[in-house]
Amino acid sequence: MPQKSLTIALAGNPNSGKTTIFNNITGTRQKVGNWPGVTVEKKEGIVSKYGYELKIIDLPGTYSLTPFSVEEIIARDFVLDECPDVVIDIIDASNLERSLYLATQLREIDCKVLFALNMADIASTRGIKIDAEKLSELLDLPIVFTIGNKNEGIDALLKKAVELAGSDIDTSGKRKVKYNKDIENSISELRSFIEKNSGISLPYKTRWTIIKLLENDEIVKERVFQKAGDQGRNIIQEVQLHRELLADRFNDDPEIVMTDERYGFIAGIIKEVLTTITKQRIDISRNIDLVLTNRFIGFPIFIFFIWAMFQLTFSLGAYPMEWLDTSVNWFSMSLDGLLPDSLLKDLVINGVIAGVGSVIVFLPNILILFFCIALFEDTGYMSRAAFLMDRIMHLIGLHGKSFIPMLMGFGCSVPAIMATRTLESEKDRILTILITPFMSCSAKLPIYIVLAGIFFSAEAGTVIFCIYFAGIILAIVTGRLFRSTLLRGADAPFVMELPPYRVPMVKSLIIHMWDRSKMFLKKMGGVILIGSVVIWTLSAFPRNIQYSHDYVAETNSVIALYNTEITTANGLDRQHIEKKRDAAIAELEMARKSEKMEKSYMGRIGKILAPVFAPLGIDWRGSVALLTGFVAKEIVVSTMGILYLAGDKGSDTLKNALLSSDMTPLSALAMMVFVLLYLPCLATVATIKQETGSFKWTLFSITYSTSLAWVAAFCVFQGGKIIGL
């Protein structure tokens, strides 16, 4: 017998612990963080329990059912349009009064609601006591206390939710906010107007629709038009009359009056259920903020944190990277000894290992970087960063909250671009999406480490830091530029909750790292592996090439020449000549290899690209590497590994190969600048398309970033040459 299924939605204010509870129920590992706006899309999970198949939906947080930003609209639309069987309102118990605002609205839409009073631990340490029985009685709904991060009360909550879904109570009679006489009058007059015109069908329940229309809710208005057609116009006209009437009566917009009324209703409830033991306590979170957002040292500390993040990533990450590098080399050498010479061996060693191996060594660095970002997110420092930076962001016409996606961009652009959903203004969102790719993501890190490490060995750290810094500066310049041209508009307001600091959960940090590693390894096993094989194939074929010299004959004649010398020479001289001979052979071999490379398919592609990149000091191999970077930025290093290594057999490491190529420190720098700015990877482009919903903006972003990259790299290379670097 198929199980009956129930849909249970988790709604609530931002940062109230919805995702924590969702993870507890479904056993998944969705992202949790201590700042408002972590979840920006709805997530689904299915569990079988109590004889039902339960479909649990985690929604983005929202302060009210009035749509304000994209992610809030997602939450509201789900609750309204999908009509879940039960809505669990996850309430931050230490923040009851404000949380009840959403709760009263949920009640108004006549769905089955139950409360989870989450963060019960924090409420009690703050001396807040909630009379749950009374609250439950007053609002006539079940209430369960929970502590999300300790998995307490979750089972009871789920059980209650299933019970509620199974019961056939009539929600429409339940206690709701009663507005003042004038508003209630308007509501009932409108109701009879609608009932009189029996042809009218409304998209939602009557009372709620009327309330929303009185509040001038654009989306509901539109839906009424869709559903009721011409009749809709009549209703809206009627509503407009009432709105004017009420506005006259209260000297303010009806929606404002109604907000007041709801809070009035809530105040009444709070008075009855909430007691605070007013013992003066030390509020640790406030004390931390005395330091971290301090007028004088707040900024220096902030800069220190960012600096420390990169410092840790590079210096601490260097050790495990070294070990991995050694293991990869060892592995490659042992295979070289074990396998008989064949095309397959060439593929494995010069394709797969050279490609994947050159990137995989960066796993530790990437993990450390993500660990640091996770620390920012889980402690609650993220919103402080937005608080500190708002003024500066304001100067470029952006929002403090835009800084959160930017900071996340150091990890990966994809979630960073998604995080822009919390921005209220469409223009802010697009602007932030356009500049976020300039925040150099972790996949570009290997490229910098390779290039800076080789060409600027001692100052590598500084060079990389400067590259990152250049990214930030160009993001700001771009922001300012577009703000005053393409995306002109009023600045969006900055209204943001600052959650209390919390000790990050070690478990969640570890899980986060683990998931990251899995993602990274998957990428290695997938796109990077395939990419490496493709690149190797393109560079190994065609097999029979028309060489410009007859290398075999030349080699033979060299050998013959030296051999006659050797027979006549004696002792020390002989050894000397033998060495010379071997060097000459190696040189010929190298010339042959590089000619072969140039005449391979890859070489031909590279030759087409080369003129574009020549002014930047990047040779054809670099050009090809950059081209492949569109798939995923890590591939740039893989490609370089394959192309440069195969070009010369004499050196066993990419380092030696690069040093003996035409690349100079200056052209390496130009290449890094290009990598920093040029078109983002495929996944990011797809995300940009999804989030802007516009092909034009996506194309614009790609064109802009790539042109900027070329110009900047050109300036670096040519400028550097002029000043004689």
Partner 1 sequence: MLLSEMKEGQTGVIDRVGGNGALRRRILEMGVLKGSEIYIEKYAPLKDPLEMIVKGYHLSLRVEEAAQITVDDVK
Residue numbers of the site for partner 1 (CB under 8 A)?
A: 63-64, 66, 68, 94-95, 97-98, 101, 255-256, 259-260, 263, 286, 289, 293-296, 298-299, 387-388, 390-392, 394, 400, 424, 493-500
Which of 110, 424 has the CB closer to partner 1? Answer: 424
153 lies in the site for ligand GTP, by CB under 6 A: no
- With CB under 6 A as the rule, give the number of residues binding ligand GTP: 27
19 lies in the site for Mg ion, by CB under 5 A: yes
Contact yes or no for 370/513 (Cβ under 8 A): yes
Out of 38, 113, 120, 352, point to the residue binding Mg ion (CB under 5 A).
38
Out of 119, 164, 414, 671, point to the residue binding ligand GTP (CB under 6 A).
119
3-class state of residue 399 by DSSP: coil
Question: Minimum distance from CB of 301 to ligand GTP (Å)?
Answer: 21
φ/ψ of residue 118, rounded to 5? -85, 170
Question: Minimum distance from CB of 91 to partner 1 (Å)?
Answer: 13
Query: Sign of the C-alpha dihedral, residues 685, 686, 691, 694?
Result: positive
- With CB under 5 A as the rule, give the number of residues binding Mg ion: 4
Cβ atoms within 10 Å, residue 395: 11
Beta bridge partners of 113: 87
Which of 32, 675 has the CB closer to Mg ion? Answer: 32
26 lies in the site for Mg ion, by CB under 5 A: no
What lies within 8 Å, CB to CB, of 690 at 6+ separation is none
- Structure-token match 């050694």, residue found: 326
Contact yes or no for 400/496 (Cβ under 8 A): yes
Question: Minimum distance from CB of 389 to partner 1 (Å)?
Answer: 9
Q: Which does 388 bind (CB under 5 to 8 A by kind): Mg ion, partner 1, ligand GTP, none?
A: partner 1
Residue whose C-beta lies closest to ligand GTP: 61
Residue type, 375: L
Question: Minimum distance from CB of 103 to partner 1 (Å)?
Answer: 13
Q: Which does 4 bind (CB under 5 to 8 A by kind): Mg ion, ligand GTP, partner 1, none?
A: none
Which of 87, 645 has the CB closer to ligand GTP? Answer: 87
Stretch that binds Mg ion, among 36-44, 63-71, 167-175, 681-689 (CB under 5 A): 36-44
Which positions from 474 through 503 interact with ligand GTP, judged by CB under 6 A? 502
Cβ atoms within 10 Å, residue 253: 15
Q: Which does 36 bind (CB under 5 to 8 A by kind): ligand GTP, Mg ion, partner 1, none?
A: ligand GTP
| CB-count burial class (<10 Å; 0-12, 13-18, 19+) for 90 | buried
Which of 41, 195 has the CB closer to Mg ion? Answer: 41
3-class state of residue 637 by DSSP: helix
34 lies in the site for ligand GTP, by CB under 6 A: yes
Question: Minimum distance from CB of 174 to partner 1 (Å)?
Answer: 22
Question: Minimum distance from CB of 10 to Mg ion (Å)?
Answer: 9
Question: Minimum distance from CB of 39 to Mg ion (Å)?
Answer: 3
Q: Which does 43 bind (CB under 5 to 8 A by kind): ligand GTP, partner 1, Mg ion, none?
A: none
In 3D space, the residue among 257, 223, 375 whose CA is nearest the CA of residue 308 turns out to be 375
3-class state of residue 32 by DSSP: coil
- Structure-token match 């105040």, residue found: 267
In 3D space, the residue among 112, 90, 111, 110 whose CA is nearest the CA of residue 100 turns out to be 90
Out of 6, 9, 11, 18, point to the residue binding ligand GTP (CB under 6 A).
18
Tokens of residue 133, six digits: 């029985």
- Please tell me the distance from the alpha carbon of residue 190 to that of residue 234, in angstroms, as a whole number: 11
Question: Minimum distance from CB of 22 to partner 1 (Å)?
Answer: 23
3-class state of residue 113 by DSSP: strand
Contact yes or no for 87/78 (Cβ under 8 A): no
Out of 16, 478, 532, 667, point to the residue binding ligand GTP (CB under 6 A).
16
Residue type, 660: S
Tokens of residue 705, six digits: 């970033």
Out of 6, 8, 20, 370, point to the residue binding ligand GTP (CB under 6 A).
20
Beta bridge partners of 87: 9, 113
Which positions from 51 through 110 interact with ligand GTP, judged by CB under 6 A? 60-61
Q: What is the DSSP letter of 1?
A: -
Contact yes or no for 37/419 (Cβ under 8 A): yes
639 lies in the site for Mg ion, by CB under 5 A: no
Which of 19, 442 has the CB closer to ligand GTP? Answer: 19
3-class state of residue 290 by DSSP: helix
Question: Minimum distance from CB of 12 to partner 1 (Å)?
Answer: 14
Q: Which does 250 bind (CB under 5 to 8 A by kind): partner 1, ligand GTP, Mg ion, none?
A: none
26 lies in the site for ligand GTP, by CB under 6 A: no
- Please tell me the distance from the alpha carbon of residue 185 to that of residue 176, in angstroms, as a whole number: 16
- Please tell me the distance from the alpha carbon of residue 585 to that of residue 656, in angstroms, as a whole number: 19
- Please tell me the distance from the alpha carbon of residue 73 to that of residue 90, in angstroms, as a whole number: 18
Question: Minimum distance from CB of 411 to Mg ion (Å)?
Answer: 18
Max intra-chain CA distance, the chain: 120
Which of 161, 702 has the CB closer to ligand GTP? Answer: 161
Stretch that binds Mg ion, among 11-19, 93-101, 478-486, 662-670 (CB under 5 A): 11-19
Q: Which does 411 bind (CB under 5 to 8 A by kind): partner 1, Mg ion, ligand GTP, none?
A: none
Query: Cis link prior to 60 (omega < 30° from 0)?
Result: no
Tokens of residue 591, six digits: 């010339």
Residue type, 458: A
Residues lying near Mg ion in the complex (CB under 5 A): 18-19, 38-39
Residues lying near ligand GTP in the complex (CB under 6 A): 12, 14-20, 32-34, 36-39, 60-61, 118-119, 121-122, 147-149, 378, 502, 505
